[in-house]
Amino acid sequence: MPDFQPTLLAQVGKPESHTRRVYEQSGGYQALRKVLKGMAPKDIVETVKSSGLRGRGGAGFPTGLKWTFLPPNHPGPIYFCLNADESEPGTFNNRILMEDDPHQVLEGLIISCFATQARVAYYYMRCEYPLAFERTTAALAECYEAGYLGQNILGSGYSLDIYMHRGAGAYICGEETGLIESLEGKRAWPRIKPPFPAVEGAFRKPTVVNNVETVACVKQIVERGVDWFKSIGIPPDPANPRDAGSYGPKLYCLSGHINRPGCYEAPLGITCQDLIDRFGGGIWKGRQAKAAIPGGISMGLLKADEFHCPLDFNGPGKFGCLGLGTAAVVVMDETTSMVDFLLNSCRFFSHESCGQCTPCREGTHWATQMMTRIKHGKGRHRDLDLLAEIGETIGIMPGTTICGLADGAAWPIKNCIKKFRQELEEYIRRTNPTGWMETNPVPALELVGIH
């Protein structure tokens, strides 16, 4: 860690870092020139595959392997969708790159499109990012002006057009098939898979969907090499044949009850405690830590005594969390109410559920209703068991939904009840001293007037 030098954020903070002029002064677009002059698409795919790069959007699927799923010798068209929807609470690493270093993202995107032989790319950006949209649009114009986009890029014979598409603020559009449906002008209902997008994606053609930070890493891998990338992070766990390793640098979002919130770059595998102390300056106001979300609210919770958890693709799962997710760490101090946390979590996922799958639509709704009753002093201990049951029965993993939104809704419920049950039970007893032991169904009329 002492020798680690940021690469993804190397230009952030420099004057005019979002312009092509400043980007080229730091060696920008040399990796693209190298690719177009001396590398075949299959060489780039193999390079990215060998690097062990895993997608930075949440699932952590190996990027190079994902590219190989495209049908060989397909006549085209092949599309590339850049997922810049970034709607996971606490996450803003893509925004930093798009606002302060959009050309790094575009260079990585162009290289990725060349590798997958896509000649049209859609840059899907959430509408709540006006500055990122403005600067990325300007950067695109600069790329066309310089010959990095359009017909016969740099005389290579390769052509590529990139189109900006703004989302409408729906969390579900971060799911790749929901994004594709939205891109096609339809309601963003995730598709049943298979077929996967690599076989039948946008406009029913082969499509690659990658995240902003992922393509920025592609640029760095091509420029610096596989050995450099694999010298950072955590190798695979030999005891876990399913662990593909956690290589490379990672952008960690750090927010909540800390002294220095922000977006920081560190090697994959830094512990939650190190991230909080070294980058965040510790817990604010001299208070004690109580819990932290390790990678966006959908990943669940770490208790304060679990902060030694390594923030790599394998670490959070050992502590009962869903995974690393977007590496958005939200810290909560000792004054935080877990009732409030769980109510906010349930309310968010209920609002963002697309409603296509009954277990998700109804499960998130009823979880919110129960938490609302608990918050307003009408809770029962039995409600915690019902909530836990909801958490175990919705999602892809129990096989009841099409996409993973329900899993993301379930994990905070399961985590919070398991790790903070005593606090939740004490709150229920204190606020409902005469009814907390009730086991009969609660009359629906009791919900009237509770908002």
In which band, very low, low, confident or very high, does the pLDDT at 448 lie, cut at 50, 70 and 90?
very low
Question: In this predicted structure, what is the pLDDT of residue 431?
Answer: 96
Residue 283 is part of a domain; what is its CATH number? 3.10.20.600
- Asked whether residue 243 is assigned to any structural domain, the reply reads no
Check whether residue 156 and residue 265 sit in a common domain.
Answer: no
**249-256 and 328-333 beta bridge pairing:** parallel
- Asked whether residue 245 is assigned to any structural domain, the reply reads no
Question: In this predicted structure, what is the pLDDT of residue 133?
Answer: 97
**Rounded-to-integer distance, Cα 103 and Cα 109, Å:** 9
Tell me which of 93-107, 309-323, 373-387, 437-451 is least confident.
437-451
- Asked whether residue 105 is assigned to any structural domain, the reply reads yes
Q: What's the domain count of the chain?
A: 3
Give me the domain span that covers residue 163. 20-232
Strand partners, 211: 83
Instruction: Answer whether the bond into residue 441 is a cis peptide, omega within 30°.
Output: no
Q: Which of 164, 185, 163, 181 is nearest to 173 (CA)?
A: 181
Is the model's pLDDT at 444 over the cut of 60? no
CA Rg, the chain, in Å?
A: 23
- Grouping H, G, I as helix, E, B as strand and the rest as coil, residue 134 is helix
**Rounded-to-integer distance, Cα 12 and Cα 6, Å:** 10
Is the model's pLDDT at 1 over the cut of 70? no
* Interhelix angle 130-146/93-100, nearest 10 degrees: 50
Residues 201-230: what's their mean pLDDT? 97
Q: Supply the mean pLDDT for the chain.
A: 94
H-helix or E-strand spanning residue 94: helix 93-100
The pTM score is 0.94
* Cβ atoms of 35 and 21 closer than 8 Å: no
- Asked whether residue 238 is assigned to any structural domain, the reply reads no
**Rounded-to-integer distance, Cα 390 and Cα 406, Å:** 10
Check whether residue 347 and residue 328 sit in a common domain.
Answer: no
Question: In this predicted structure, what is the pLDDT of residue 76?
Answer: 87
Structure confidence by residue, pLDDT tens digits, 405-442: 999 999 999 999 999 999 999 999 999 999 898 888 77
Tokens 């009732």, located at residue: 339
Check whether residue 180 and residue 287 sit in a common domain.
Answer: no
- Asked whether residue 241 is assigned to any structural domain, the reply reads no
* Cβ atoms of 370 and 386 closer than 8 Å: yes
Of 333, 365, 400, the one marking the end of a domain is 333
Question: In this predicted structure, what is the pLDDT of residue 447?
Answer: 53
Structure confidence by residue, pLDDT tens digits, 324-335: 999 999 999 999
Question: In this predicted structure, what is the pLDDT of residue 169?
Answer: 83
Check whether residue 82 and residue 146 sit in a common domain.
Answer: yes
Tokens 């001293």, located at residue: 433
Check whether residue 128 and residue 260 sit in a common domain.
Answer: no
Structure confidence by residue, pLDDT tens digits, 35-88: 999 899 999 999 999 999 999 988 889 999 999 999 998 998 999 999 999 999
Q: Which of 92, 83, 79, 308 is nearest to 202 (CA)?
A: 79
Residues 158-169: what's their mean pLDDT? 94
- Asked whether residue 370 is assigned to any structural domain, the reply reads yes
The 10 Å Cβ neighbour count of residue 394 is 28
* Polymer length of the chain: 451
**Amino acid symbol at 311:** L
Check whether residue 209 and residue 101 sit in a common domain.
Answer: yes
Q: Which of 396, 373, 392 is nearest to 383 (CA)?
A: 373
Provide, rounded to the nearest whole percent, the portion of the chain with pLDDT above 70.
Answer: 98
Check whether residue 184 and residue 292 sit in a common domain.
Answer: no
H-helix or E-strand spanning residue 435: none
Q: What does 267-324 look like in DSSP terms, one character per residue? A: ETT-BHHHIIIIIT-SBGGG--EEEEESSSGGG--EEGGGTT-B-SSSTGGGGT-S--
Check whether residue 317 and residue 352 sit in a common domain.
Answer: no
Check whether residue 181 and residue 108 sit in a common domain.
Answer: yes
Characterise 164 by phi-psi region: left (phi > 0), alpha (psi -120 to 50), beta (else): beta
Check whether residue 403 and residue 323 sit in a common domain.
Answer: no
**179-207 burial: b if 16+ Cβ within 10 Å, else e:** bbbbbeeeebbbbeeeebbbbbbbeebbb
H-helix or E-strand spanning residue 237: none
Structure confidence by residue, pLDDT tens digits, 225-277: 999 999 999 999 888 888 889 999 999 999 999 999 999 999 999 999 999 99
Question: In this predicted structure, what is the pLDDT of residue 15?
Answer: 96
**Rounded-to-integer distance, Cα 148 and Cα 202, Å:** 24
Question: In this predicted structure, what is the pLDDT of residue 305?
Answer: 97
Residues 352-357: what's their mean pLDDT? 96
Residue 139 is part of a domain; what is its CATH number? 3.40.50.11540
Instruction: Answer whether the bond into residue 6 is a cis peptide, omega within 30°.
Output: no
In which band, very low, low, confident or very high, does the pLDDT at 445 lie, cut at 50, 70 and 90?
very low
Check whether residue 52 and residue 156 sit in a common domain.
Answer: yes
Provide, rounded to the nearest whole percent, the portion of the chain with pLDDT above 90.
Answer: 91
* Cβ atoms of 401 and 413 closer than 8 Å: no
Helix-, strand-, coil-residue percentages of the chain, each rounded to 5: 45, 15, 40
Question: In this predicted structure, what is the pLDDT of residue 450?
Answer: 59
- Asked whether residue 358 is assigned to any structural domain, the reply reads yes
Of 312, 333, 354, the one marking the end of a domain is 333
- Grouping H, G, I as helix, E, B as strand and the rest as coil, residue 133 is helix
Of 333, 368, 398, the one marking the end of a domain is 333
- Grouping H, G, I as helix, E, B as strand and the rest as coil, residue 260 is coil
Check whether residue 114 and residue 263 sit in a common domain.
Answer: no
